[in-house]
């Protein structure tokens, strides 16, 4: 269990419980058994976060998980059983379920899109469009769903987008400065049309090219231009309706913020036996 995970879960508990759970204080001091049940099919992720929520409230709560992160579950399947203080279980319930249903939503949406492009060699990437405070958690959920992680933040990869290029004066100037100052970091350059792509292909030290909002026709042309030179990433307005067509162009990567920001929480419930 990482210090970051502990800090995130404790902050969520502090936010919810505050000076004390007044509703739970009305319950008798009794030991109970309970279960967390999926009310719809999903790819589960967030077990460590949910378990930590219960144990931080009361480390004597016993939890028996019947599934692992990354497992597909069906409607009405029991994810785990719990036994312990009724007060502790209901006090931790909402925070535990919040983590589990949110991270499972990201994993589920990721798996859904990964399956849509499984007939190609394209790989699904996440973005930095994550929920504040849940960057590491959601990126872990993407991996549970079969996707792969893009850069973790602004510190581990140089990514030159339209505003960086405009401020620098040209793609060439922006790339040169990036290579000079951060020679050991991956370098991704975003292009908005085939002319810009051709400029980038004539430069060195670039790790990957991001084709932003390209049409299917232009993506197909881009793949031909870049073949054997640089891997291509497609991004911009990609969704479940067009992702297969994008993958069919032959791009190496497809990135979308939808798997971390346009998600519907998985329906889960905790019930006493």
What CATH number corresponds to the domain at position 226? 3.20.20.70
Catalytic residue, candidates 21, 69, 93, 212: 212
Catalytic residue list contains 212:
yes
Catalytic residue, candidates 94, 135, 176, 177: 94
Quote the CA–CA distance of 165 and 258 in Å, as a whole number.
26
Same domain flag for 142 and 257: yes
Same domain flag for 63 and 79: yes
- For CA atoms 164, 169, 171, 175, give the dihedral sign: negative
Could you tell me which residues come within 8 angstroms of residue 56 by beta carbon, excluding any fewer than 6 positions away?
Answer: 6, 9, 10, 13, 92
Catalytic residue list contains 135:
no
Same domain flag for 157 and 230: yes
Catalytic residue, candidates 143, 161, 176, 177: 161
Specify the pLDDT at position 107. Answer: 98
What CATH number corresponds to the domain at position 98? 3.90.1170.20
Length of the chain: 273
| Residues of the chain falling short of pLDDT 50 | none
Same domain flag for 138 and 91: no
Catalytic residue list contains 94:
yes
Question: Which of 88, 117, 83 lies closest to 259 in space, CA to CA?
Answer: 117
Give me the helices (H) in the chain, please.
3-17, 47-57, 86-116, 135-144, 162-168, 171-181, 194-201, 216-226, 243-248, 258-261
Same domain flag for 134 and 105: no
Domain extent at residue 170: 116-261
Same domain flag for 75 and 64: yes
Same domain flag for 124 and 245: yes
Catalytic residue list contains 218:
no
Specify the pLDDT at position 28. Answer: 86
Same domain flag for 193 and 85: no
Specify the pLDDT at position 1. Answer: 62
Structural domains counted in the chain: 2
Specify the pLDDT at position 27. Answer: 87
Quote the CA–CA distance of 147 and 110 in Å, as a whole number.
6
Lookup: tokens for 81: 């059983």
Catalytic residue, candidates 190, 208, 233, 252: 190
């Amino acid at each position: 269990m990482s210090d970051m995970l502990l800090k995130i879960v404790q902050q969520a508990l502090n936010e919810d419980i505050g000076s004390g759970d007044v509703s739970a204080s009305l319950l008798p001091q009794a030991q109970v058994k309970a279960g967390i049940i999926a009310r719809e099919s999903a790819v589960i992720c967030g077990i460590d976060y949910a378990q930590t929520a219960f144990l931080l409230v009361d480390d004597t709560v016993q939890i028996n998980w019947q599934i692992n992160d990354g497992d597909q579950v069906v409607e009405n399947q029991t994810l785990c059983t719990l036994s312990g203080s009724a007060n502790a279980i209901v006090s931790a319930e909402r925070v535990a379920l919040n983590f589990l249903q949110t991270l499972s939503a990201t994993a589920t949406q990721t798996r859904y899109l990964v399956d849509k492009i499984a007939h190609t060699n394209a790989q699904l990437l996440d973005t930095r469009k994550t929920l504040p405070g849940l960057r590491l958690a959601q990126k872990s959920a993407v991996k549970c769903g079969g996707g792969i992680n893009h850069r973790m933040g602004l510190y581990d990869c140089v990514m030159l987008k339209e505003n960086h290029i405009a401020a620098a004066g040209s793609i060439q100037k922006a790339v040169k400065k990036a290579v000079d100052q951060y020679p050991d970091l991956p370098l991704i350059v975003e292009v908005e049309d085939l002319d810009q792509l051709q400029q980038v292909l004539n430069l060195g030290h670039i790790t990957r090219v991001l084709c932003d909002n390209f049409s299917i026709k232009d993506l197909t042309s881009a793949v031909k231009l870049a073949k054997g030179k640089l891997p291509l990433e497609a991004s911009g307005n990609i969704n479940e309706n067009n992702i297969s067509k994008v993958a069919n162009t032959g791009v190496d990567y497809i990135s979308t913020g939808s798997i971390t920001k346009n998600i519907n929480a998985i329906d889960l419930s905790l019930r006493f036996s």
